[in-house]
Amino acid sequence: MNYPNKIKKQQNNIIYSNRGMSLENMINESNKYYLDEDKALIYKKPTPIGIVDVSYENHQKIIKKAYFQTQSTLDYNGIYKGKYIDFEAKETKNKTSFPLENIHPHQIKHINSVIHHGGISFLLILINNVVYLLKGEDFINFVNNNTRKSIPYSYIKEKGFLIKYNYLPVLDYLKVIDKIYNIKEINYEEENKNY
Amino acid sequence: MNYPNKIKKQQNNIIYSNRGMSLENMINESNKYYLDEDKALIYKKPTPIGIVDVSYENHQKIIKKAYFQTQSTLDYNGIYKGKYIDFEAKETKNKTSFPLENIHPHQIKHINSVIHHGGISFLLILINNVVYLLKGEDFINFVNNNTRKSIPYSYIKEKGFLIKYNYLPVLDYLKVIDKIYNIKEINYEEENKNY
């Protein structure tokens, strides 16, 4: 919480340097805002690692050797208005298309499964200095109906939804989610009666 | 998939040694079964680490020093029949009570938030060689109304739901979820229309 400090910090660090901020940092800041405001619970999953060697220093367990592993799901998930949310964020320096090698086959399968089980899944793509939300459905559609190894920028602009840069949160992607998915306000009283 | 092999493996390794299997392994095996059967998507979050030093060996990035960090959420989350699921699994060797030091204050807050946002949150507790599901609501109730530093086994038996050991999956906790939470079968056709 501690709002006055936080806003000050954001003024100094974020607003003047949006362009230099990584997509991951923008999403993490936005998720922290959603959490503080009790709007949604969305977290980045830690990077999975394979531990080879550990030792103890001053009674603390320390990893001495480990490898990075590939996430078999997407990086971010959580809950918003009773709905399961699951997404991936990717930046590309490519100006004309989004290379599909950025998304692994098991992640494509995962997006399909999330939608099948009634959840909301999408990609946030930073391309040409702007962020687009591409619905999992449109992403899967492209992959299934094309042999290309990248999604043209024109497809992202046509099917995707622009997330405008904002003050607080930096990337208000839930506002876009509200618009494009049919999400009802949940009645918490009604929900809690069931338990 | 590859079912015949898998069942054979389970026969050899699991059924004869349930008592020696960690709660985490039983849950991971069950989640893999749910995933293979397309019943639910539930994953254990990787353990978060703080990386101090990395280097390159044969063009591969290797972690040379890192510390284990505490998860600020719970260990498992995912989606089941359109519902957001979020839970923690804990074993205790204590026979008469479950020590509350096992669950951190920020995790208690997280359980509260998940319920508030319309999700399902609970603990799976392995105590006296049996596994109980304790609803987040009953856990929070205990914490809010007691000054004790542990939950008596009697409370867990009274409020919790026994998860019987099973063949496939080893711990069919979703069957218990079906019974104790009011979960409607989702109509996938209806769901998908909204997208």
Task: Tell me what pLDDT residue B4 has.
Answer: 45
Pick left, alpha or beta for residue A69 (phi over 0 → left; psi -120 to 50 → alpha; otherwise beta): beta
Candidates A71, A94, A109; CA nearest to A149 is A94
Percent of the residues in chain A that have a pLDDT greater than 70, as a whole number: 84
CB spacing of A68 vs B63 below 8 angstroms: yes
**What is the rounded CA–CA span in Å between residue B184 and residue B157?**
27
Q: Which two tokens stand for residue B185?
A: 């079968």
Closest by Cβ to A114, choosing from B64, B79, B186: B79
Q: What is the pLDDT of residue A162?
A: 97
Residue with tokens 């079968």: B185
**DSSP of A36-78, one letter per residue?**
HTTS-EEEEPPPPEEEEEEEEETTEEEEEEEEE---SS-SEEE
B145-154 residue pLDDT tens: 999 999 999 9
What pLDDT does residue B195 have? 41
pLDDT reading at B137 higher than 60: yes
Q: Rg of the Cα trace of chain B?
A: 19
Contact residues, B window 39-78, toward A, CB-based 8 Å cutoff: 40-41, 43, 45-49, 60-68, 71-73, 77-78
At B104 the pLDDT is 93
Judged by CB atoms closer than 8 Å, whether chains meet at A80 and B117 is answered as: yes
In chain A, how many H helices and how many E strands?
7, 10
* Six token digits for residue A186: 């949940």
Q: Could you tell me if A132 and A160 are in contact, meaning their C-beta atoms sit under 8 angstroms apart?
A: yes
- Read off the pLDDT of residues A130-161 as tens digits, 9 standing for 90 and up: 999 999 999 999 999 999 999 999 999 999 99
Exposure string of A60-76, with b = 16+ CB inside 10 Å and e = fewer, is eeebebbeeeebebbbb
Q: Give the integer Cα–Cα distance in Å for A137 and A159.
A: 10
CB < 8 Å from B in window 23-42 of A? 38, 40-41
Model pLDDT, residue A72: 85
Instruction: Tell me, yes or no, if B192 comes closer than 8 A to chain A by beta carbon.
Output: yes
Question: Is pTM, for the whole model, over 0.90?
Answer: no
Report pLDDT digits (tens) over A95-143: 999 999 999 999 999 999 999 999 999 999 999 999 999 999 999 999 9
Of the candidates B47, B65, B78, which has its C-beta nearest A62's C-beta?
Answer: B65
Q: Which residues of chain B does A45 touch, with a Cβ-Cβ cutoff of 8 Å? A: 45-46
Which ipTM value was assigned to this complex? 0.85
What is the rounded distance in angstroms from the CA atom of residue A36 to the CA atom of residue A30?
A: 10
Q: Which CATH architecture has domain B3-193?
A: 3-Layer(aba) Sandwich (3.40)
> Cα(B32)–Cα(A181) distance, rounded to whole angstroms?
29
Instruction: Assess B178–A contact: CB distance below 8 Å, yes or no.
Output: no
- Give tens-digit pLDDT for B71-130: 889 999 999 999 999 999 999 999 999 999 999 999 999 999 999 999 999 999 999 999
Cα–Cα dist A75/A86, whole Å: 8
Whether residue B41 and residue A110 make contact (CB cut-off 8 A), yes or no, is yes
Is the pLDDT confidence value at A1 over 80? no
Would you state the pLDDT for residue B70?
87
* Pairwise CB contact (< 8 Å): A79 & B135: no
Distance from CA of B128 to the nearest CA of A (A): 27
Query: Does residue A10 have a pLDDT over 80?
Result: no
Domain A3-45+59-193 part of CATH 3.40.1350.10: yes
Contact A172, A27 (CB under 8 A): no
